[in-house]
Chain A
Amino acid sequence: MKGIHRVVVYTKRLRYEFELRRNITVIRGDSATGKTTLVDMVQEYANNPSGSPVELVCDKKCYVLSGTLKQSYHEFYRIYGIDLLREEVKPERIVAEDSNSGYQFFCGVCSDYNLECDTAGGKSNLFHVLNSGEDEKILAIADGAAFGSEIDKVIQLMKRRKNLVLYLPESFEWLILLSDVLNDREIMHILDNPYEYIESREYFSWERFFTKLLTEKSEDTYLAYSKKSLNKAYLNDRVKLAILSQMKKIVFGN
């Protein structure tokens, strides 16, 4: 799947309209708000396309997969991003979800500003690490493109612990691409509308696409990127500051 797909499902009584941009979109909400009814209507149309009281308009065929599905969704829109921060945040400790290049980069940043830096060792451990933390101002950084299954409980914890701030770029690689350190116009076009370029059959998560894009675009340059081990060039002041400048409202140092 590529691009935006508009779905309109309606009967005499009900009408749903929404747009899909990613391979998985999760619908959540209070009971009796119409989630099951939407699925039932799509199923009714799919079972009886010629003689159904349900009308469905979409440029793709729509089906219902039913049964006991494990709660293992991985995509969600970046609704808990930086836009929600009203004030500047000056962290005292950074916790990165992963232990690869992203963590190594933020350890380098923390070393410059005398901050603590830790890895949660995976997104499923992030809640525990934040839950066990002290009262210091903690900035937790995770890949927004792959954090959906954990977001609910972390947000619930943040509501009760004012010292926690969660920053969810699509991924660390997306942050690097956005900083324009590779000075590549095509990258900026892609970042403007990633859904026009990412084929969901190839990339289960957008994070994987951005990693491949960064790896390919930086190949044979001094910024050659490897996810496992951070190229030290990303810690030189110009590159580092360009990346950090994308983290709006997060202040490092004075």
Chain B
Amino acid sequence: MLNVFYGDMEEAVYNTAAYFKYDYEDEWITDPFVKEMILDVDKSVVMDSGVIDSPVLGKIPPVELSGGVKTLILVKFNTEKVFNASTCGDNCAKWLLRIAEEEDRTINLRHLLDFGEDDFEIRILNTNRVIHSMDELVPAAGELV
């Protein structure tokens, strides 16, 4: 399940792009799940661990992936830290849910990320309440950010 702490969280990594730059590992980039995320969010194709083919930027290294995808990769592989997922756009929300489908993950959000109209399961850590839809989430989490 995806656990979310809403609002300021001192121990959370705020600048995820800077963290990614010094923390990512080659094998993370070539992971099939990550390749799929990069294709969906950045519309880019992973050539190998050091080269990604972007339709806009040309051949780029992993550090030039979008801020959202870099945060998704950190959430997937670095389970020791809590990351500020407000660096993610709404187009990353479904991937946060998918990452947390198989193994619990905890993220920090400082705004109301839109998780879409389908049902989902998220635990708001501030109140320990489990939420199943945006209709439930907005009134509950809006009070916390």
Question: B143 at interface (Cβ–Cβ under 8 A)?
Answer: yes
B89: CB under 8 A from chain A?
Answer: yes
Q: Are B58 and A13 touching (Cβ within 8 A)? A: yes
The reply to whether the CB of A33 lies closer than 8 angstroms to some CB of chain B is: yes
Those of B23-56 within 8 Å (CB) of chain A: 41-43, 56
Q: Which residues of A contact B112 (CB under 8 A)?
A: 152-153, 156
Q: CA–CA, A30 to B134, complex, Å?
A: 18
Interface pair A14/B138, CB less than 8 Å apart? no
Against B, the Cβ 8 Å flags (1 = close, 0 = not) of A139-153 are: 000000000000011
| CB-defined contacts of A35 to chain B, threshold 8 Å | 67
User: Which residues of A have CB within 8 Å of B57?
Assistant: 13-14, 37
Instruction: Determine whether the beta carbon of A13 is less than 8 Å from that of B111.
Output: no
Residue in A31, A34, A152, A160 whose CB lies within 8 Å of B68 = A31
Kindly state the separation between the CA atoms of A34 and B65 in the bound complex, as whole angstroms: 11
Q: Is B89's CB under 8 angstroms from A30's CB?
A: yes
Residues in B with CB closer than 8 Å to A157 are 138-139, 142
CB-contacts of B101-145 with A (<8 A): 110-112, 114, 134-135, 138-139, 142-143, 145
> In the complex, which residues 70-121 of chain A have their Cβ closer than 8 Å to any Cβ of chain B?
71
Give the residue of A13, A31, A152, A153 whose beta carbon is less than 8 angstroms from that of B89. Answer: A31
Smallest distance from the beta carbon of B11 to chain A beta carbons, Å? 15
Q: Is B92 among interface residues, defined by CB-CB distance under 8 A?
A: yes
The prevalent SS among residues of A at the interface is: helix
Interface core residue of B17, B66, B91 (most chain A CB under 10 Å): B66
Instruction: Check if A36 is an interface residue, CB within 8 A of chain B.
Output: yes
Which of B14, B89, B114, B135 is within 8 Å of A68, CB to CB?
B14
Q: How many residues of B contact A (CB 8 A)?
A: 29
A128 close to B (CB within 8 Å) = yes
A128–B88 Cα distance when bound, in Å, is 25
Bound complex: CA A127 to CA B6 (Å): 15
Pair B138/A32 contact, Cβ less than 8 Å: no
The answer, yes or no, to whether B78 is at the interface (CB within 8 Å) is no
CB atoms of A152 and B56 under 8 A apart: no
Please indicate the chain B residues that have their CB under 8 angstroms from the CB of A160 in the complex: 134-135, 138-139
Query: Which of A32, A152, A156, A159 interacts with B66 by CB under 8 Å?
Result: A32
In the complex, A131 has a CB within 8 A of chain B: yes
Known A71-B110, A153-B112; contact A128-B89, beta-carbon cutoff 8 A: no
* Cβ-based interface call for B79 (8 A): no
Q: Are A29 and B89 in contact (CB under 8 A)?
A: yes
Bound Cα distance A101, B103 (Å): 54
- Assuming the contacts A152-B111, A152-B112, asked whether A31 and B67 have C-beta atoms less than 8 A apart, the reply is yes
Report 9 cross-chain contacts, Cβ distance below 8 Å, ordered by A residue.
A30-B91, A31-B92, A32-B42, A32-B69, A153-B138, A156-B112, A159-B138, A160-B138, A160-B139
Q: Which residues of B contact A (CB under 8 A)?
A: 14-15, 17, 41-43, 56-58, 66-69, 88-92, 110-112, 114, 134-135, 138-139, 142-143, 145
9 closest A-B pairs by CB: A31-B68, A30-B89, A32-B66, A31-B89, A30-B91, A32-B42, A153-B142, A31-B66, A156-B138
